[in-house]
Structure 1
């Protein structure tokens, strides 16, 4: 048997993990047809079928799972060996892929990306802003950003923002016309800007005071799935909005919005970068994490 090349084995692991020739080809930077031909050639050289193919998906065979289970730790060890000499090159290079919701994207753009560009100019941050919660490993990301309480337990979390609050805001002109609610249950008499979460459901607003928690179902003239648009809608007097504090801080500081029901604001939540704990940390991701950790000092 002709021994497969390292490129072929790496390509097989990528296809087996992504369960898609297209996604694996995008990650490897080659055409899907080229990748498919390479996998058939690999199977011919090894004398065994490694992948089950249908018109819609691809998955490892029993032999494929056996090979995948042995190759992944071996390739991780190889990555560690190559990463161990990074310091001898004098600078960190590479690409780090980060997935974040709009809230996390705003904070990263403000606090972390400028520091990355200054400290590690040869590292490319491939930054994708996405509303829905995803599996960062299967989607090919090195790390993600979420509220700490929503991070999967098998991930390593590095908090970098401690005080993200969710606030009710309204334009001064709206409050002059309709009045200001004195308690959350009065929101049923107000126009409110609905928030559709990534899964498709409408978000019920959460409040807390003196240990008492309330969840309110609101209604109003518009439903949105983007916090920046919610802030704009509130500024335009379409109703009261409920958003993360970083999204509204500029409008609040400029007086275009006012916070309401401040005494009922829920406790702040921490935001963290998270990444898989079972993988070797590549130099580009390690550099990114160093910048995140440095913000907390």
Structure 2
């Protein structure tokens, strides 16, 4: 009789440790947190050792659990690669493609790339995570990530799509009736600015450039948000000046609800890149998604 733990149980343990959360691991595996908790208790009973430390707010591996997960990581990765190689013999790839991205990039992908990909490969599922955090995609279990070209991690293959981007300062005409438009980035110190919070928790410092001159401004402002769309809507409402990607503001600029400011200080920069580990076998689903990006952009 084989008393070894089931592969599903070991995969679940690895997901819990990687996410440091029963809920997030359950979401990834398509299970309920209570089912996952029951599986872990049964696994610990079978192995005769505690693998996880649980509290009401957190979960972390014991020393035994951490050692087991560390040993399992390359084995589970090799298993995924083996299954994916078989996938190449199919007419179409299947499985889940997990991509870490931003809200703005996800909105761009949802216009063309996502509908095309899902229609062309009906046996694929696409999991777009837009938490806004710059994570280690390998450690977090993502197949790929999407970032601006200026912040790509080293040692990654990258595929550019969507062209250059431009961050613009925008405000509503009603706001500008009461506040003189800034002529230089330093003039923003006299304005209400709608700031955005970085993943670290600190507000982003606005960056401007003109003829090789670069200026970074720690702008003032009573409103701090963590979504670009909310920043644009707040600017439309006349709450202050926002600094956002031009494609996010374009619909409101076209209708005259927003106007751009400091245009000569807002150059175009390298746009979005999909990136993935260069030293790994590229899953067939990711290859298919890359082909769609290259075709559309």
Change (3 A) 1:83 1:236: same
Aligned twin of 2:51: 51
| 1:153-212 per-position Cα deviation (integer Å, ceiling 9, x unaligned) | 254332223311111112234334433322222222333323333322222221111111
Aligned twin of 1:186: 187
Aligned twin of 2:115: 114
Are the equivalent residues in 2 in contact too, given 1:50–1:64 (CA < 8 A)? Answer: no
Per the normalisation by structure 2, the TM-score is: 0.83
Aligned residue pairs, count? 291
For residues 35 and 282 of structure 1, what CA distance do their matches in structure 2 show?
Answer: 29
| 1:16-58 per-position Cα deviation (integer Å, ceiling 9, x unaligned) | 54445554444333412222134214524xxxx4735353433
Which of 40, 49, 68 is 1:36 aligned to?
Answer: 40
For residues 20 and 184 of structure 1, what CA distance do their matches in structure 2 show?
Answer: 43
SS at match of 1:35: helix
| TM-aligned CA deviation for residue 9 of structure 1 | 4.0
In structure 1, runs of 5+ residues without a counterpart are none
For residues 157 and 109 of structure 2, what CA distance do their matches in structure 1 show?
Answer: 18
| TM-aligned CA deviation for residue 288 of structure 1 | 2.0
Bigger drift between 264-273 and 136-145 goes to: 136-145
CA RMSD of aligned residues (A): 2.9
Question: Matches of residues 83-122 of structure 1 in structure 2 within 5 Å?
Answer: 83-122=84-123
For residues 193 and 12 of structure 1, what CA distance do their matches in structure 2 show?
Answer: 42
Aligned twin of 1:61: 63
1:237 and 2:238 aligned: yes
Are the equivalent residues in 1 in contact too, given 2:5–2:43 (CA < 8 A)? Answer: no
For residues 13 and 227 of structure 2, what CA distance do their matches in structure 1 show?
Answer: 38
Per the normalisation by structure 1, the TM-score is: 0.83
| TM-aligned CA deviation for residue 214 of structure 1 | 0.9
For residues 38 and 26 of structure 1, what CA distance do their matches in structure 2 show?
Answer: 20
1:174 and 2:145 aligned: no
| 1:222-270 per-position Cα deviation (integer Å, ceiling 9, x unaligned) | 3333221221222222222211112111212232222111111144132
Question: Matches of residues 90-239 of structure 1 in structure 2 within 5 Å?
Answer: 90-239=91-240
Change (3 A) 1:13 1:162: same
For residues 43 and 22 of structure 1, what CA distance do their matches in structure 2 show?
Answer: 23
For residues 195 and 63 of structure 1, what CA distance do their matches in structure 2 show?
Answer: 38
SS at match of 1:75: helix
For residues 63 and 95 of structure 1, what CA distance do their matches in structure 2 show?
Answer: 26
For residues 244 and 226 of structure 1, what CA distance do their matches in structure 2 show?
Answer: 12
For residues 15 and 279 of structure 1, what CA distance do their matches in structure 2 show?
Answer: 23
